[in-house]
Structure 1
Amino acid sequence: MSLRKNPNNIFVKLLLGFWLCSSLIIALIGMMPLLQQNHDQTELPPHLENMLSKLAQRIIDSPQVLQPDSMKRWSRFKEKDGRPVRLYLVDENSNVLNTRKPSRALRRFMLMADEAGKPIKHQFRDELLFGPYEFKVRGKQYALYGRLPEHHPRPWFLFFIDNKIITLSIAILLSGLLCGLFAWHLGKPLRSLKRSADALANGDLSSRVDSATAKRNDEIGQLALAFNGMADSVEDMVKSQQRLISDISHELRTPLTRLKLSLALSRKKGQETQETQRIEYEADQLEQMIAELLELSRVKLNASESKRNLELAEALSQVLDDADFEAQQQNKQLHIDIDESIRVPLYPKPLSRAVENLLRNAIRYAQSQIIIRTSVTDELIKLEIIDDGPGIPDAGDLEAIFKPFYRPQSARDRESGGWGLGLAIAEAAVTAHQGQIAAGNIEPHGLIVTISLPR
């Protein structure tokens, strides 16, 4: 896309932004000497010109005052308001005749006046110099300059002329501030994009870039629109996949029901054999697997219920009672340490099913005890389920056990008799809460599964 077609792109913004920022700083600094010159240096006012004119006429009328002894008397006098005036007589060779050591300010002012080409006045720090008034005596060219001990308040911005280090520091600070604002303007939509991408990566398929970013006319806006389009496609694809699994599971139940009905009719006719018993067992296993698949698809689609703000202990009370009973039947102890004051927005059924699957898994492999406990931080609520079983020796399996149909090579899962869907359901339920689930081994033996939910 050319600049002519889209002048609002990132290249133009970067170019204009930094160019205008640097140009503004350079212009402000460059204008300060000009502002100082316009303030300090102006044309010679009439009353000062009259003063020089009268003295020049006096010298013309009485040339003897040019004698060194006479110069001392007329080069210093007072104005009507009492201010002392110092006058300087300069010959055609720019030599100051009535002083041996002319000040640096006087020499500087003489150059300024020569450059201006006309009589001027200039305000130095604590004195006012004015002139020249040119005249001739006996065919020789002379010029008169004057000095008044005068101090005028200067505008605040001229302070920076005399303090170059402070001026440079302020220029750097101002440049950094302007560039920072410009960088913030460009970085804000990028941060919005990052948040949406992180949320999508963590399983929040409804995450989209905000409309303000998507409506921008530059490449960031185009990227936001492309991201939202991608997120729509991903969400549709994932939900279509889950619906497909759900539909297939529903459809499989129909022939499965017919198969079990045929087995029941065979029994009535006295045709029960070892083969028919095996067929019935496998049919039951298939029915349980289909039920697990349906549960997994329901949890991932979040179609069963809406979030509610509930006490965690109350939402898990039935699951904990059932798990305690199951543990007692196997001569194992379940220790429950859940703060009843903890409240969290949740989907009750999916979270209950997740904790139920984890507790059953822990009870199955625990040697003597299982612990379920909670801890709270400023941002997270952690729910930990710990057993003293053999754990999972392979570190790679600790992350993969939450994938559907994953079967690690450890004895822990080979003896379970499941299909690798229980932990997948737990992971899907936690992801639906924008949380995280992780497993880890503990010493000397055992497994800990941690569910982290945002507060």
Structure 2
Amino acid sequence: MDALLDKIRAGLLHEQQLTRELSHELRNPLARIVAEVDWWRTRPRSSEETRYSLAVVEDAASSMRTICDTLLDEAQGAASTHRGPADVHAALVRLAGPRTTSSAVTLRIAPPIGRLMAAAPAAIVERAVSPLLENALRYAHSQVTVVARLEAAGIRIEVTDDGPGVPPWFAPQLFHPGRRAELGDGHTGAGLGLSLARRLARSADGDVHHDASHREGTRFVVTLPTA
């Protein structure tokens, strides 16, 4: 009976975690849809503007579908059955494209040296980098840079910002679900993104870690196997 109860409890916790992660990841594309519809309603629009709005809504809806498929596949253990290849730079450009930054923050995707092909689904690449990019844009003072390059161990993707950095005391808790360093820092967030990014990267035999040696701001690193 104890074993059965433990199994039921684990299943419920898994479902609750999946629900929280889906909510976390769907928030941004849903906000894009709402913002675009609100903008479109403010005054009469030309045919060209209407087509643009519909394209934005379609792209956001497609992103939501990809997020659902990716997280559900990972939860069912099916994410590792597809090994790509995925064009890493194309995935990063696609991920950064719909994002909005404040006028004070510049987002730069560095051009790759050669073609970087990862042995992972493109959706996994995007979903593993997305929370890191979201955090970087949230905390940066003026600049966020994303660099991808080939190393002996595989592909390395660095997401760097010039924000305040990670408090040393909080570093051991970075990848614990639901943990945030400063709850009253004026930024939204549920503390789920980093743990999700790491789990998705590991489902493709990669990883995510915080580069503690980087002192000017924050740098997170995603590593993925090459195709």
TM-score (normalised: structure 1): 0.33
1:424 matched to 2:201? The reply is no
Give me the whole-angstrom Cα distance separating, in 1, the residues matched to 2:73 and 2:10: 10
- Please point out which of 156, 173, 176 is paired with 1:400: 173
Give me the whole-angstrom Cα distance separating, in 2, the residues matched to 1:437 and 1:390: 20
1:390 matched to 2:159? The reply is no
RMSD of aligned Cα (Å): 3.3
* Residue correspondence of structure 1 range 141-180 to structure 2 within 5 A: none
**Residue of structure 1 equivalent to 2:48:** none
Amino acid at match of 2:189: G
Give me the whole-angstrom Cα distance separating, in 1, the residues matched to 2:108 and 2:9: 38
Long gaps (5+) in structure 2 = 1-6, 21-66
Residue aligned with 1:350, SS: helix
Would you say the 8 A contact 1:245–1:297 is kept in 2? Answer: no
Which gives a bigger RCO, structure 1 or 2 (Cα 8 Å, sep 6+)?
Answer: 2
Amino acid at match of 1:389: G
Amino acid at match of 2:137: I
Residue aligned with 1:308, SS: coil
* Residue correspondence of structure 1 range 129-208 to structure 2 within 5 A: none
- Offset at 1:357? 1.5
1:342 matched to 2:116? The reply is yes
Residue aligned with 2:119, SS: strand
1:319 matched to 2:90? The reply is no
**Residue of structure 2 equivalent to 1:289:** none
Higher percent of residues as helix: 1
Would you say the 8 A contact 1:357–1:422 is kept in 2? Answer: yes
- Please point out which of 374, 377, 380 is paired with 2:148: 374
**What is the number of equivalent residue pairs in this alignment?**
171
Would you say the 8 A contact 2:180–2:191 is kept in 1? Answer: yes
- Offset at 1:244? 3.4
Residue aligned with 2:98, SS: helix
**Residue of structure 1 equivalent to 2:138:** 364
Give me the whole-angstrom Cα distance separating, in 2, the residues matched to 1:415 and 1:360: 15
Percent identity, please: 23
Cα distance, 1:362–1:402 mapped onto 2, change above 3 Å: same
- Offset at 1:296? 5.7
- Offset at 1:387? 0.3
Give me the whole-angstrom Cα distance separating, in 2, the residues matched to 1:293 and 1:245: 15
Runs of 4+ that moved beyond 6 A: 236-239, 246-249, 292-295
1:433 matched to 2:204? The reply is yes
Cα distance, 1:370–1:352 mapped onto 2, change above 3 Å: same
Amino acid at match of 2:138: R
Give me the whole-angstrom Cα distance separating, in 2, the residues matched to 1:247 and 1:393: 28
Deviations 1:65-106 (A, max 9, x none): xxxxxxxxxxxxxxxxxxxxxxxxxxxxxxxxxxxxxxxxxx
Would you say the 8 A contact 1:382–1:452 is kept in 2? Answer: yes
**Residue of structure 2 equivalent to 1:162:** none
Give me the whole-angstrom Cα distance separating, in 2, the residues matched to 1:362 and 1:342: 23
- Offset at 1:405? 0.9
- Offset at 1:373? 0.3
Would you say the 8 A contact 1:439–1:449 is kept in 2? Answer: yes
- Offset at 1:300? 4.3
Give me the whole-angstrom Cα distance separating, in 2, the residues matched to 1:311 and 1:345: 9
Cα distance, 1:338–1:301 mapped onto 2, change above 3 Å: farther
- Please point out which of 297, 306, 312 is paired with 2:82: 306
TM-score (normalised: structure 2): 0.63
Amino acid at match of 1:366: A
Deviations 1:84-142 (A, max 9, x none): xxxxxxxxxxxxxxxxxxxxxxxxxxxxxxxxxxxxxxxxxxxxxxxxxxxxxxxxxxx
Deviations 1:340-380 (A, max 9, x none): 50111112223212212211110111011111002212222
Give me the whole-angstrom Cα distance separating, in 1, the residues matched to 2:12 and 2:85: 30
Give me the whole-angstrom Cα distance separating, in 2, the residues matched to 1:318 and 1:337: 13
1:333 matched to 2:94? The reply is no
Amino acid at match of 2:94: Q
